[in-house]
Copies of this chain bind each other. A is one copy, B any other.
């Protein structure tokens, strides 16, 4: 067992190296972008631009060309008539869906959400900062729901929505959740599908961002929420989102929304006011590169080959340093997605971020995984190992493991002295 002094010395050693490492965001690495090079030139002549009789170079088609819907049908396991292919950003689709509900309500609702004095959303925590930011922007109250190993605490969800019709929705990342990496269990999915909220305009924002982003030979399975919800007459309650942001190019990929046929019709009607349509040429590029499901699966294996070693580098270093044996410390070993979720003793997250920053390792800000950026326990951190090159991640893992041990050692010292470290 390493001593406190040795730990401090190791830390000072890292500081002296003048490192500049960045694990702040879940961005694909350059090698992941490089494997998409064929997408760039896949359309080169005017004849390439016609598919199924559609000239993708001109106006027309609001909800995505049929072949592009097929890609998302493959990704989500949802029939094409329940899919709209829309733009380059699923966040934008989520924001628009929220804005639409705020301004015009949802199918079957009495009035727009903005006409209520105050509405609330349930926010499983830790969660995705950009989800919470949308609520913050629209002034929607956020109610934190603890995450369990099977998904959000469904007892709490069911109880809250049953009695309070000011609760209008919940954010979910059902597969390889951001940041915990867990996938909702079949029971959790069924409990969502059969939810009986008091508010008839309650909506689940089902952000299936990592639907096929596996890191394992035994990937997690997520049942199709829409077909199960249909069993309970609840299909209108679900807006499912996904994108190719971490399949093709982030920001230059395709995003999609899937929902009941009734919701899709209503959204398409509203879209006719909003836009002349999405970029069909970019849809066509993706179709050419991913002509069938197998081509998508093969491609995701290439991503896995690049990022899995980075996850392993972090987790192996954590194991080597017995991080999991530290009192109050735990972390996830995700089967997919883009994050490792790290839990520390209360009051330690900000300190760890500071120690790491001082040693040249930028981590996601403490609190980012909570509404308003405020983690009440100051204990959770999102570790994002995908973007830096593997050799940087190997260095970063050492710095991180050292900083975790140092943070906990400091914590234990203060605790032993009776100091209130959380303040």
- Whether the pair B44, A251 counts as a contact (CB closer than 8 A) is no
Q: How many whole Å from A362's CB to the nearest CB in chain B? A: 15
Chain B residues within 8 Å of A3, by CB: none
Which of A31-39, A152-160, A228-236, A367-375 forms contacts with chain B?
A: A31-39
One of B28, B36, B55, B252 near A30 (C-beta < 8 A) = B55
Q: Which interface residue of A30, A41, A59 has the most chain B CB atoms within 10 A? A: A59
- Whether the pair B56, A45 counts as a contact (CB closer than 8 A) is no
One of B36, B43, B270, B275 near A40 (C-beta < 8 A) = B43
- Whether the pair B137, A57 counts as a contact (CB closer than 8 A) is no
> In whole angstroms, how far apart are the Cα atoms of A96 and B114 in the complex?
16
A249 beta carbon closer than 8 Å to chain B: yes
Chain B residues within 8 Å of A51, by CB: none
Among A257-278, those with CB < 8 Å from B are: 270, 272-278
A407 beta carbon closer than 8 Å to chain B: no
Which of A85-93, A314-322, A349-357, A390-398 forms contacts with chain B?
A: A85-93
A48 beta carbon closer than 8 Å to chain B: yes
Which of A74-82, A196-204, A279-287, A409-417 forms contacts with chain B?
A: A279-287
Among A94-152, those with CB < 8 Å from B are: 95-96, 99, 102-104, 112, 114, 130, 133-134, 136-138
- Whether the pair A25, B59 counts as a contact (CB closer than 8 A) is yes
One of B48, B56, B252 near A280 (C-beta < 8 A) = B252
- Whether the pair A46, B34 counts as a contact (CB closer than 8 A) is yes
Chain B residues within 8 Å of A60, by CB: 251
Chain B residues within 8 Å of A282, by CB: 252, 279, 282
Q: Apart from A30-B55, A57-B252, A87-B87, list 8 A-B contacts with CB within 8 A.
A: A34-B46, A40-B43, A40-B281, A87-B88, A89-B276, A103-B103, A130-B273, A137-B270
